[in-house]
Amino acid sequence: MAILDYKPNIWKEALNLSAHQIPQALILEGTWWRETATKNRLSLLSNVRELDFPDMFIGDYCGVSVAYCCAYGAARAVEPAHIFGQLGTPLLVQIGTCGTLDVNTSTGTIVLPQSCAARDGVSHIYGAEDTVHTSAIWMTKAEELLRAENRVTTRTKHLTWPSLFAQSNAMCDRWTEEGFVSIDMETSAVTAVADYFGVSCVSLLSVWDALPHGRTFMDPLSKEDADKLKRSNEVVFEVALKLAQQVNQSES
């Protein structure tokens, strides 16, 4: 049987999960720095265990079961999203960093992709059209929590692209003309999977690259901007955990 045709019980058995252990939320983080990110994120959870698939963890946060996986790029991110979406985890939260095409959006700003151009190479397999939309309800909840932490947020017209490296100046110019404000490598694909399985998805991304300024991750940040980015990433994960606490109180 092909994997797309699997039934939920297959994943439960493969992960060694019982029905009452299905997490309330899956938090996905797209980053190269997997070891550091995983260590930092899991330090906020209790009763952590790695599932029978590598780099997929579950733990407790204030009595709520949460799954975490560091998954870089759409092709990788859809795997845990698929598994937990099919198992019925109500909320998928994409976190990480992104680039901006808006000259006025500064490092450490937290963008919440609203409409996402699904150019990641995977979304169409899950029936996505050219554009997918994250959950308006969960975006509003995330905004409220982020603003309570005095974080600068903005909703964006977003693009998910398959490669960090395959982005030329001409491409960036065209994307700017199309009105895109932010770019990452996972959001639209995770949203497409969530839609496919009838669960919710929200994305909270910290701005790193500033493409209008010609700055990529290869260019060093000032200490001030580096501190802003670090704190934004920390707050985003803390907010993702608080969203997980609200799952039972909300409709998708």
Residue 69: inside a domain: yes
Q: Which residue has the tokens 């939320």?
A: 25
d(CA 50, CA 190) in angstroms, rounded, equals 21
Residue 177: inside a domain: yes
Which tens digits make up the pLDDT trace of 144-180?
A: 999 999 999 999 999 999 998 998 889 999 999 999 9
Q: What is the pLDDT of residue 43?
A: 97
**pTM: predicted TM-score of the whole model, two decimal places:** 0.95
pLDDT band at 252 (very low <50, low <70, confident <90, very high): very low
Contacts of 24 (CB under 8 A, 6+ apart): 64, 65, 66, 89, 90, 91, 244, 245, 247, 248
pLDDT band at 213 (very low <50, low <70, confident <90, very high): low
Which tens digits make up the pLDDT trace of 47-82?
A: 999 999 999 999 999 999 999 999 999 999 999 999
Kind and range of the H or E element at 66? strand 64-70
Q: Evaluate whether 31 touches 72 at the Cβ level (below 8 Å).
A: yes
Q: What is the pLDDT of residue 251?
A: 47
Q: Evaluate whether 23 touches 57 at the Cβ level (below 8 Å).
A: no
Comparing C-alpha atoms, which of 236, 186, 176 is closest to residue 206? 236
Residue 181 structural domain: 3-247
The chain-wide mean pLDDT, for the chain, equals: 93
pLDDT band at 208 (very low <50, low <70, confident <90, very high): confident
For the chain, the domain total comes to 1
Which tens digits make up the pLDDT trace of 32-42?
A: 999 999 999 99
Comparing C-alpha atoms, which of 199, 200, 98, 209 is closest to residue 157? 98
Comparing C-alpha atoms, which of 23, 73, 67 is closest to residue 41? 67
Residue 252: inside a domain: no
Our CA angle for 44, 65, 16, nearest 5°, is 115
Q: What is the pLDDT of residue 137?
A: 97
Residue 22: inside a domain: yes
Q: Evaluate whether 28 touches 191 at the Cβ level (below 8 Å).
A: no
The CATH number covering residue 239 comes to 3.40.50.1580
Buried-state track 197-210, b at ≥16 Cβ within 10 A, e below 16: bebbbbbbbbbbbb
Residue 146: inside a domain: yes
